[in-house]
Structure 1
Amino acid sequence: MNSPCLREASEACFLGCSPFAGLPGAPAEKSLTGAAVFRHDFLIATTSSLHPNSQFTNHESLPSLHESSSLFANAFPQYEQTDKADEIRANEYHHLSSANYVCLDYTGLGLFSYSQQIGHLPATSIASSSSHPPPSHLSSLESPFLVISYKSVNLRSQILHGVQESEIESRIRKRIMAFMNVSESDYAMVFTANQSSAFKLLAESYSFHSNTNLLTVYDHENEAVELMLESARKRGAHTRSAEFSYPRMRIWSEKLRKMIIGNKRNRRRRGLFVFPLQSRITGAQYSYSWMGMAQERGWHVLLDASALRPKDMDTFGLSIFKPDFLICSFYKVFGDNPSGFACLFVKKSSASILRDSDAARSIGIVSLSPITTSFRHFQESAQEGISQRPSSALFQLQKNDIISGMAPKEMHYGSPELHSSEVDNVTPEAVSSTEIKVVSSTEIEEVETPFDSVRSRITETSFDGRLEIEFRGLDHADRLGIILINCRARYLINWLVNALLSLKHPDSDTELLPLVMIYGPKVKFERGPAVAFNVFDWKGEKINPVLVQKLADRNNISLTCGFLQHIWFADKDKEWERTLETRTSVAKGTESRRKRDDRRGISVVTASLGFLTNFEDVYRLWAFVSRFLDADFVEKERWRYTALNQQTVEV
């Protein structure tokens, strides 16, 4: 894995990814002592980004957006250096602002921009759906699609012997591999329908009969991983999981180290080590050294890159610890069109561990091909259904009319991430295609990227002319680069955590009670751009996360619900009895008690920040959560929506 920007990214990482590193006028860091100083200064700046030592007991006492923005800018003056992201958002994702919509439920990578997508709609639909329409030439374009079709092939055969791919598939693959900083000489790649398909495909193809262990490192319930575990157990694998200490959700290092090293009896029969570099629920980050330890002990390593920020694959560590397998996922358009596909990378030197499997032939490997049908009749019929609210009306329209590549149902944990209410009743039969923008040859222009060998706009000569595919979502991340993306996320997520922790219930008899409980890292220099939390009422009782999510959605803020699991309580007291919940899952198609799987964990609300998230987004989430300081807020919301003839929110 090599990249022209590897040196820059590596220096930034060895220096602790300082919020100042790589920015104009930034002081140079030369030692770990210097990095520690910057971390200390960062924590002080985060604390002072609100009013110093502020605690808010009333939602009406919060500073205004303007005042908060000024305090934030004073605390983090380097944030201004990330304004390229704001320009991209204004020009290419104007629906986020025009719809007054806060999108905090997308995790992963977007391929295209919103401007590209609405370029497919008729001119009348564009005018009615946005106060900032795209350039006028877009509305006259034809609207062909890139079709996703399932293939009946074995993963091992495809990796070892290759399969004839079209020119357009080859160019898309090259663009994605360049973006992911994965070498074509070292890795082969296949397209899969979604993240769950990629995990299950590998589980059905991996040689568990000679490598009997499957060890995973996830602090939350993950549908794709659960499918892998289910398939592996059926094939005789011994499955285990890392555990995480409450409440910071750090890896219980001693136990994980013992599981990796193993005992004398099974040291020669390792298996598959499934590892994400960070939790997409809590934002907890994990050390590269776990991959190195597993590789040294003979494990095959699967790196789950689905929760990584854009350009995180350019970091230095991944050029050293090359995993045997890697999975990433893509959705189409951030904040609007969540359908997409996933990619499974296999290191060529590790392909021999795979086995042909009849079951794997029917799992998720797909091919991509262009078609020329314009679907003009669909566009005309869709005009009335296009909504400014991206994650609901448009998605429902896609389900009903079977358009644009909806992957099989994935609740929160696959590619893409959706509210559960939006993916109900989606079946694999509804899967057919994914949109790709087509432009005329006169509109072609070169776009600068860090990869000299790959053009951002890809040309395919087909039977009806030149097909130009423009991955603007990937282009935008390339232009910003790893340093700006990570610094922007660091400022925003830590401000949000600090702001949430400042909300307190008033109590005259005892000390102030916290409104919000954070699970995972709190204010911390090294943390991912996601936060898991719960809201508690003035009596200390947890408010149902689903209720919080629904009320947020009705305030135009999209959040996610998750379930933390594999939690370890170090103090051995009775706190776990008061904290943990039981979630029962039943295998599909059966109610047999033998198929029941009772898990203990914690249901939470999660907010995920992307590189297009801005300060107003996190401020609006803070302001929304602060309304729970009002003891009557939930009741008021119930009566308000009942009065508006809307469905009552059930507590």
Structure 2
Amino acid sequence: MQSTSTREVTELCFHGCCPTPFFTLNEADKSIAAKPRNSSAENRRTFASTTSSSLFPNTEFNNPDSLPSLQEAFDQFIRTYPNYTETYQIDEIRAQEYYNLSLSNHVCLDYIGIGLFSFSQLHNQLSLTYPSTSSSPPPLRPHSSEFPVFHLSYKSVNLKNHLLEGGNESRLESAIKKRIREFLNISEDDYSVVLTANRTSAFRLVAESYPFGSCKKLLTVYDHDSEAVDTMINSSEKRGAQAMAAEFTWPRLRIQSSKLRSMITSKRMISKKRGLFVFQLQSRVTGARYSYQWMKVAQEHGWHILLDACAVGPKDMDSLGLSLFQPDFLICSFYKVFGENPSGFGCLFVKKSAISILETSTSAGIVSIVSARKLFYLPEESSGTETEFEQELELGGSSSSNSFSGPISIQAPTMEKGESSTSVRNKDTRVKINGQKISEIEVIDEGSDLFVERRSTVIRRKRNSLVECRCLDHIDALGLSLVNSRSRYLVNWLINGLTKLQHPNAERAVPLVKIYGPKIKFDRGPALAFNLFDWKGEKVEPILIQKLADRKSISLSYGFLHHIWFPEKYEHQKSSVLEKRRCEAKENPGNKKKGKENLGIRVVTAAFGFIATFADAYKLWAFVAQFLDADFVEKERWRYTALNQTTIEI
């Protein structure tokens, strides 16, 4: 049976789609919220102590039924973080644009990154794709990824020539690149960009084009195993590179600073051309954040810099200070829509002054964006004919075999002076295609509070662009402070709650949860790495936790922490902490030197996207608490077998 706390998650609404008292502060809460805000420096100093002292002080939870209710937990959460109520706009966005998550009761915590579109936007386009079948939208399929937005088409070109000569590019692809540049605040004067099939393809392209013949070293800074980085290392070593990796000190998993600095500044390197320094500002597994200064030190000692921004927060690029550090390469990725199959593409930015150092290669991975269908529409302000607009929107024309057609957005009707956004929404906004009126045309509520501070920029962009990336628009309108503050409150509340779960009736205190990397901390990312241990102290396999969570509609992932260095006083823990990566023989057949790298820690990971809610965090907490029941796994295995005539493999 579900625990009381678990059931309440499905019964209560935290998404702003119905009247709710959860954002109503009592008198005590109002007095807290009314206090003058501290300076940023003071907030950082007091955040951890406030979190620890205000959330479940001097409390341990020894069984799933001892957890406070969702309402009680939220009331305490708001008392601790009263400014969370300022992020209510994100709840409105979730209710209006990502209602698929509520319909499926889905908690999506299994990947991190930046989306392009909203579910509502894509669903409306899906209904337009089949206009003749019904006047109403087709049935919702919350987990379907078959949205008619765009596809990727591979190009048979090498990276250097493509950067120097350019290529046939549709107006659709050009518009998407332009929108991404604006979102990331990257100037076209400084960087060229190519689209890649995925993040791994971007890393491979750099590895196969970088001059490792003269710049021998490859130095990576990752606390976790990464397919993209492994691909880069394998490709570069085949071309003569000498791969090195930073190490992370147990138990806090901070960068082993003295060793990394030694590798960067080594005087044994006679040549000033050191090699490629691959750096991430934030771990996509543990949420650890690293100093910009490592890039500066590496640049001062002759390294080329590849900045991996794939795990950087949605608006953190605005504060990267690229004009100060100017990495030679920057890689990021975008998926289509949050809560769905995270398919999308990678973006490789190359500093224009660095193009000349690249070597020609035959590597694949560069792609074009291909429209999935044609969509003609007539903006109300148009003075052109229908034929002229159809010709204008035939993106790419007939100049290429990969001609692209169809913009991704539908232009909203223009609001006349004195007309409210509500009246515009209620207008008949249908258009005619082949003589038939098509409903479900999207209307942007430009008068909503969401766009008050940044509305002029957002509206101007929509009017001047062929593509509407509504997720990016929402993030731009919200801004860095709101997006980061919300995830900061949620992930730190969850960490505090997880550390309060203790096994009962044990001879010694046995915590249920072990957190890896930063714990409660103001300046940490929204990703979290942890493991669960039974009352005997034995680890529960991460893949089993992921499968059981999936049955509760909670999507988690798992990772492998590696390059862990044990100081002398912790050396005795090494054998009990480290484990071999699964399928070692299959991953590295006959490669004995990789043995050390295959030692690490398998972990469960959770990552909070920008529209995550308190209910999401609570539901994960309540699920993890189920493992306080010593028979929980056996009960779930029996139930799974009874319902599905199969077993969960451990």
Deviations 1:174-212 (A, max 9, x none): 110110111111000001010000000010011111111
Match of 2:262 among 258, 270, 273: 258
Counterpart in 1 of 2:12? none
Give the superposition deviation at 1:159: 1.8
Conserved in 2, the CA contact under 8 Å of 1:198 and 1:342?
yes
Distance 1:433 1:603 in 2: 43
Counterpart in 2 of 1:94? 99
Deviations 1:109-157 (A, max 9, x none): 10010112222045699564379xxxxxxxxxx9854332111112112
Counterpart in 2 of 1:180? 184
Match of 1:564 among 539, 561, 566: 561
Distance 1:204 1:246 in 2: 34
Conserved in 2, the CA contact under 8 Å of 1:272 and 1:302?
yes
- Counterpart residue identity of residue 365, structure 1: I
Match of 2:295 among 291, 296, 300: 291
Give the superposition deviation at 1:319: 3.6
State which structure, 1 or 2, has the greater radius of gyration over its C-alpha atoms: 2
- Counterpart residue identity of residue 501, structure 1: T
Distance 2:169 2:586 in 1: 35
- After TM superposition, list the pairs within 5 Å mapping 1:291-440 onto structure 2: 291-315=295-319, 317-357=321-361, 359-360=362-363, 363-370=364-371, 372=373, 437-439=408-410
Conserved in 1, the CA contact under 8 Å of 2:281 and 2:289?
yes
Counterpart in 1 of 2:477? 479
Counterpart in 1 of 2:547? 550
Conserved in 2, the CA contact under 8 Å of 1:586 and 1:595?
no
Distance 2:458 2:512 in 1: 52
Structure 2 CA distance for partners of 1:115 and 1:441, relative to 1, 3 Å = closer
Conserved in 2, the CA contact under 8 Å of 1:274 and 1:301?
yes
Conserved in 2, the CA contact under 8 Å of 1:282 and 1:519?
yes
Structure 2 CA distance for partners of 1:168 and 1:127, relative to 1, 3 Å = closer
Q: Does 1:129 align with 2:100?
A: no
Distance 2:619 2:96 in 1: 22
Conserved in 2, the CA contact under 8 Å of 1:146 and 1:433?
no
Aligned identity (percent) is 54
Structure 2 CA distance for partners of 1:595 and 1:321, relative to 1, 3 Å = closer
Distance 2:61 2:70 in 1: 15
Distance 2:521 2:35 in 1: 21
Distance 1:573 1:440 in 2: 63
Give the superposition deviation at 1:650: 1.9
Counterpart in 1 of 2:43? 38
- The range that moved more, 230-239 or 337-346, is 337-346
Q: Secondary structure of 1:469's match? A: coil
Deviations 1:232-252 (A, max 9, x none): 000000000000012221100
Distance 2:117 2:603 in 1: 30
Give the superposition deviation at 1:349: 1.2
Q: Does 1:146 align with 2:150?
A: yes
Distance 2:344 2:44 in 1: 37
Distance 1:166 1:39 in 2: 47
Conserved in 1, the CA contact under 8 Å of 2:98 and 2:118?
yes
- Counterpart residue identity of residue 72, structure 2: E
- Counterpart residue identity of residue 485, structure 1: V
Distance 1:68 1:593 in 2: 51
Structure 2 CA distance for partners of 1:435 and 1:480, relative to 1, 3 Å = farther
Give the superposition deviation at 1:168: 2.0
Structure 2 CA distance for partners of 1:310 and 1:303, relative to 1, 3 Å = same
Give the superposition deviation at 1:46: 1.3
Q: Does 1:229 align with 2:233?
A: yes
Deviations 1:614-637 (A, max 9, x none): 100001101100110000000000
Distance 2:459 2:349 in 1: 19
Give the superposition deviation at 1:160: 2.5
Distance 1:550 1:584 in 2: 17
With structure 2 as the length reference, what TM-score do the two structures score? Answer: 0.79
Conserved in 1, the CA contact under 8 Å of 2:374 and 2:406?
no
Deviations 1:11-32 (A, max 9, x none): xxxxxxxxxxxxx988576xxx
Structure 2 CA distance for partners of 1:587 and 1:581, relative to 1, 3 Å = closer
Distance 1:334 1:434 in 2: 25
- The range that moved more, 626-635 or 309-318, is 309-318
Conserved in 2, the CA contact under 8 Å of 1:45 and 1:76?
no
Structure 2 CA distance for partners of 1:127 and 1:74, relative to 1, 3 Å = farther
Match of 1:525 among 518, 522, 526: 522
User: What's the RMSD between the two structures over aligned residues?
Assistant: 2.9
Structure 2 CA distance for partners of 1:163 and 1:231, relative to 1, 3 Å = same
Counterpart in 2 of 1:578? 576
Conserved in 1, the CA contact under 8 Å of 2:506 and 2:535?
no
